[in-house]
Amino acid sequence: MEEHGSKIPSASGTYDFIVVGAGAAGCVLANRLSASGRYSVLLLEAGGEDSNPWIHIPLGYGKHFTNPAVNWLYASEPQPGAANRRIAQPRGKVLGGSTSINGLLYIRGQREDYDRWRDLGNPGWGYADVLPYFRKSEDNERGADDFHGAGGPLCVSDPKETHPLADAWLAAAEECGYPRNPDFNGAIQEGFGYNQWTIRNGFRSSAATGFLRPARRRPNLRIVTRAHATRILFSGTRATGVEYLRGGLTASATARLEVLVAGGSFNSPQLLQLSGVGPAPLLQRCGIAVVADLPGVGMNLQDHYTARMVYECNERCTLNDVIGNIPKSIGAALRFAFLRKGFLAMGQSFATGFIRADPAAATPDIQTSITLYSFDKPGDRLHPFPGFTLAARLLRPESRGSVTIRSADPLAPPAIAPNYLTSEKDCAVLLAGIKANRRLSQTPAMRRYVAREHDPGPGCESDADLMDFIRSRGGIAFHPAGTCKMGSDAAAVVDARLRVRGLQGLRVVDTSIMPLLVSGNTYAPTLMIAEKGADMILEDIGSNG
């Protein structure tokens, strides 16, 4: 079934709210705005139902990197800072959006990230302001405390079992003098420990399963899948509706109150630009009439560039040893089926460390992690040898990129130009990060497991060679942010209430509004943005009558 909601006769009708995109943010908005029963909500999603079982089995994320049925399969422009490679940019195209294909890590970032947002001129977005919204979404299996919530739609859980290789890596961290931290989302982020994952009873806790499933029977919520929004409709400077393509036909729906754009950091600026909201010269070049000249739409793109070092392991205890080995694969399947344990129940990385690679940094600037498998690049087959990966992820990049339409064709992918590693500081911090990873790999605690460094390998020693490795072999964490940034400067796209500047009846509510990328992962922060966004929308609607 592709359409839901009975009270509303036609998807082409009039709704109080139209939400574009059923990803992290869109699912929260659909749930919270329809909860009272007072407002009608239309949720348009370009992808289909989340019925592929591999969406729900945690390890399934490996299968979705190259699956066009659930993934937009974007790629960047050739990146001068990354050896002129096009870097794959997976994005979920399915109910749940990227939360249906992501790596399941639950990491919110640092208190200082949100305080910086506030200090940039965004009242109400400091850490003390946003913490209640993180807690509201959360159902942490450890229970509620000052930092965590219980009973919310998003389940956050600990790995059901430890792994000897991850234990050895955590011991290695202690040998290197790093502190242990059982909760990266608690009082402080710095230190090493096991990850918490967005998993409920062994299955992925996506935004679709957590927020949409309980809401979809509400008569005032209509969900239309395979509906690709192509244009926001305006009357003067007021957004009045959305035009979309479904099954090759153009349809449109009217918004009585607001249009809420939640297409993610690539598609939200794309849709605004297609609709005449963006840098005037770009729009004019594409033959699009300008509704609002907002030069910041699509600018300020940031992501977590990541260098991955691969190690051959002395023991056959990695996922590489299971995939392709029939008896071991059957064993893993049975462990998952009966106990909800083992590799199939695993998030992308097992344990993480937040370190200050630059000793002058006030808070951690590198996220390091151990992944119990290895490959040449995401989406490739795993290596044929026992292997694991130590990743170093640059937490607060200075490099900035852009997302721009190439033409007025709404189905053409936008040009994604992240400009990775164009800042010297980014390079220096990442270089220090991979040196820290190498030190971890050379500790007594890791000796039992490390047979040899496979990538970059022992011959790669000088800073210049290591930097070459980072540029030619690095990837990203798939956390694009910032392309419709919140603020009050000339490049800001939305104000602190997420209203598109200079227009009425239009907000952007998703990862793209982050003025600065957070020093963590982006699923939980995007839920927080939408939780807070929903409250602000309901307040504003209430106060306007």
Ligand X SMILES: Cc1cc2nc3c(=O)[nH]c(=O)nc-3n(C[C@H](O)[C@H](O)[C@H](O)COP(=O)(O)OP(=O)(O)OC[C@H]3O[C@@H](n4cnc5c(N)ncnc54)[C@H](O)[C@@H]3O)c2cc1C
Catalytic residues: 479
Q: Is 522 in the site for ligand X (CB under 6 A)?
A: yes
305-313 and 450-455 beta bridge pairing: antiparallel
Q: Is 282 in the site for ligand X (CB under 6 A)?
A: no
Q: Is 153 in the site for ligand X (CB under 6 A)?
A: no
Stretch that binds ligand X, among 18-26, 147-155, 211-219, 487-495 (CB under 6 A): 18-26
Stretch that binds ligand X, among 8-16, 122-130, 259-267, 316-324 (CB under 6 A): 259-267
Q: Least distance (Å) from ligand X to the CB of residue 258?
A: 16
| Inter-residue contact 157 to 166 (CB < 8 Å) | no
Q: In sequence order, what DSSP letters do the residues of 309-338 get, joined into one string?
A: EEEEESSS-SGGGTTT-HHHHHHHHHHHHH
Q: Is 228 in the site for ligand X (CB under 6 A)?
A: yes
End-to-end CA distance of the chain: 36
β-partners of residue 487 are none
Q: Is 137 in the site for ligand X (CB under 6 A)?
A: no
Binding-site member from 8, 18, 19, 24 for ligand X (CB under 6 A): 24
| Inter-residue contact 373 to 389 (CB < 8 Å) | yes
Q: Which is nearer to ligand X, 379 or 502 (CB)?
A: 379
Q: Which is nearer to ligand X, 416 or 431 (CB)?
A: 416
Q: Least distance (Å) from ligand X to the CB of residue 410?
A: 7
Q: Which is nearer to ligand X, 103 or 202 (CB)?
A: 103
Q: Is 240 in the site for ligand X (CB under 6 A)?
A: no
Stretch that binds ligand X, among 360-368, 381-389, 521-529, 534-542 (CB under 6 A): 521-529
Phi, psi angle pair for 116, to nearest 5°: -65, -40
CB atoms within 10 A of CB 276: 18
Size of the site for ligand X (CB under 6 A): 40
**127-137 helix and 523-543 helix, angle to the nearest 10 degrees:** 100
3-state secondary structure 335-359: HHHHHCCCHHHCCCCCEEEEECCCC
Q: Least distance (Å) from ligand X to the CB of residue 66?
A: 11
Q: Which is nearer to ligand X, 199 or 257 (CB)?
A: 199
Q: Least distance (Å) from ligand X to the CB of residue 88?
A: 9
Q: Which is nearer to ligand X, 22 or 372 (CB)?
A: 22
Instruction: From 76, 9, 41, 30, select the one nearest 533 (Cα to Cα).
Output: 30
Q: Is 269 in the site for ligand X (CB under 6 A)?
A: no
Q: Least distance (Å) from ligand X to the CB of residue 263?
A: 3
Q: Which is nearer to ligand X, 92 or 433 (CB)?
A: 92
Binders of ligand X in range 78-107 (CB under 6 A)? 90-93, 97-99, 101-105
Q: Is 348 in the site for ligand X (CB under 6 A)?
A: yes
Stretch that binds ligand X, among 20-28, 157-165, 307-315, 360-368 (CB under 6 A): 20-28
Total residue length of the chain: 545
What three-state secondary structure class fits 491?
Answer: coil
Q: What secondary structure letter does DSSP report for 209?
A: I
Stretch that binds ligand X, among 21-29, 119-127, 177-185, 456-464 (CB under 6 A): 21-29
Q: Is 267 in the site for ligand X (CB under 6 A)?
A: yes
Q: Is 134 in the site for ligand X (CB under 6 A)?
A: no
| Inter-residue contact 519 to 129 (CB < 8 Å) | no
Number of H helices, E strands in the chain: 13, 25
Q: Which residue is nearest to ligand X (CB)?
A: 23
Residues 384-422, buried b or exposed e (16+ Cβ, 10 A)? ebbbbbbbbbbbbbebebbbbbeeeebeebbebbbbbbb
Q: Is 404 in the site for ligand X (CB under 6 A)?
A: no
Q: Least distance (Å) from ligand X to the CB of residue 229?
A: 4
Alpha carbons within 13 angstroms on the beta-carbon side of residue 146 total 6
Q: In sequence order, what DSSP letters do the residues of 498-511 get, joined into one string?
A: -BBTT-BSEEE-SG
Contacts (Cβ under 8 Å, ≥6 apart) of 504: 237, 238, 239
Binding-site member from 8, 11, 20, 494 for ligand X (CB under 6 A): 20
Q: What secondary structure letter does DSSP report for 202?
A: T
Residues at the contact surface with ligand X, assessed by CB under 6 A: 20-26, 44-47, 90-93, 97-99, 101-105, 228-229, 262-264, 267, 271, 348, 478-479, 510-511, 521-524, 526
